[in-house]
Amino acid sequence: MYTLARELLFKLSPETSHELSIDLIGAGGRLGLNKLLTKQPLSLPVSVMGLEFPNPVGLAAGLDKNGDAIDGFSQLGFGFVEIGTVTPRPQPGNPKPRLFRLPEAEGVINRMGFNNYGVDHLLARVKAAKYKGVLGINIGKNFDTPVENAVDDYLLCLDKVYQHASYVTVNVSSPNTPGLRSLQFGDSLKQLLEALHRRQEDLTEQYGKRVPLAIKIAPDMSDEETIQVANALLNAEMDAVIATNTTLSRDGVEGLEYATEAGGLSGAPVRDKSTHIVRVLSEELKGRMPIIAVGGITEGKHAAEKIQAGASLVQIYSGFIYKGPALIREAVDAIAALPK
Ligand SMILES: Cc1cc2nc3c(=O)[nH]c(=O)nc-3n(C[C@H](O)[C@H](O)[C@H](O)COP(=O)(O)O)c2cc1C
């Protein structure tokens, strides 16, 4: 059925089709239709970060930035749903067009720039949702907050979302907010992580509940940089790492229409880069911190590859655009078929 829907959706501009899909998935969720229309995945429970997941395949951040379709996405069979990136204040993002499909490569280029309605809107949507499963809330900084003050934006968002999230993701890896990726390195990273960890401890005491913190990183790092990040995350007692966000590289899409558009590239072209980062992280972390793998899962077997590379959970974004909800079940099946 998705093949037909995709044919229609791909006739629209990528952003119009994105908005329409969120509306349809949201409406299907409210009417309880999505569960009826999709073949639900196997039950494949896993426990990660102290949380119980019905299956290890989640929705990646950025598809439901405002939390408008939480029930709808969960009913498609995702084992967990991550919403955001949300910023303290609403912001429009970059001028359109800012989203491009590269179908020949099963790729997407975006320079959305954290368009979102702000953290208060997102919280209202979370409170209105019926979903009781694992909900990640991904936080970022406003584009006009100087990068030296980024920590204030993250702490403000953390304070607000803390008691409503199963886990919180700190996004320091979007390529579309100037300066953001510099927070992944050296003293900037150390200071940010220390501030987040201190606040997490205060909030744990205040609410009597420890909400895990995950840090989402970029694929555009050398092995040495990846190892440094892994150790910084361990030292700061973070709870998980999400690898990866989109890439600035254009390997594998050279010469294709839109390949030279500015922004982050996702989908099949980022797959191997992203899996490599998971492997390097896993060798360094040696099971001391769980890895959530995302990047280029367009078939079930790619999800299984991420688990074999050392991930405990996976997430999907671009593959969902190209393959639709059937990919969720396919990914769960492929993971279930791995030797124990
Ligand atoms: C249009 C678009 C918007 C995105 N927005 C966000 C975002 O707001 N926050 C974030 O952490 N990642 C965002 N991402 C990155 C995805 O969550 C994911 O890390 C990346 O696309 C790689 O996975 P994929 O190949 O399955 O798409 C976005 C990706 C796309 C394609």
Of 266, 316, 322, best ligand 1 pocket probe by most atoms within 8 Å of the beta carbon: 266
Q: What is the pTM of this model?
A: 0.98
Q: Is the CB of 216 under 6 A from ligand 1?
A: yes
Average pLDDT over residues 135-148: 98
Q: What is the pLDDT of residues 156-177, one digit of tens each?
A: 999 999 999 999 999 999 999 9
Q: Which of 173, 169, 287 is nearest to 219 (CA)?
A: 173
Q: What average pLDDT does this structure show over 83-96?
A: 98
Give the residue whose CA is nearest to atom 23 of ligand 1.
Answer: 295
Residue nearest to atom 29 of ligand 1 (CA): 62
As a whole number of angstroms, the distance between CA 307 and CA 235 comes to 24
Q: Detail the DSSP E strand segments found in 124-253.
A: 134-139, 167-171, 213-217, 240-243
Say whether pLDDT at 125 is over 80: yes
156 CA distance to ligand 1 centroid (A)? 23
* CB-based contact 67:301 (threshold 8 Å): no
CA 10, 293, 59: angle at the middle one, nearest 5? 45
Q: pLDDT band at 230, cuts 50/70/90?
A: very high
Contacts of 270 by beta carbon, 8 Å cutoff, 6+ apart: 107, 219, 244, 246, 247, 249, 295, 296
Instruction: Give yes or no for residue 112 CB within 6 A of ligand 1.
Output: yes
How much is the average pLDDT of 106-133?
98
CA torsion 30-10-62-320 (nearest 10°) is 80
User: What single string gives the DSSP state of each residue in 225-241?
Assistant: HHHHHHHHHHHTT-SEE
| Pocket of ligand 1 contains residue 296 by CB under 6 Å | yes
pLDDT band at 40 (very low <50, low <70, confident <90, very high): very high
Structure token pair of residue 137: 């809330």
Would you say the CB of residue 321 lies under 6 angstroms from ligand 1?
A: no
Which residue's alpha carbon is nearest to atom 28 within ligand 1?
62
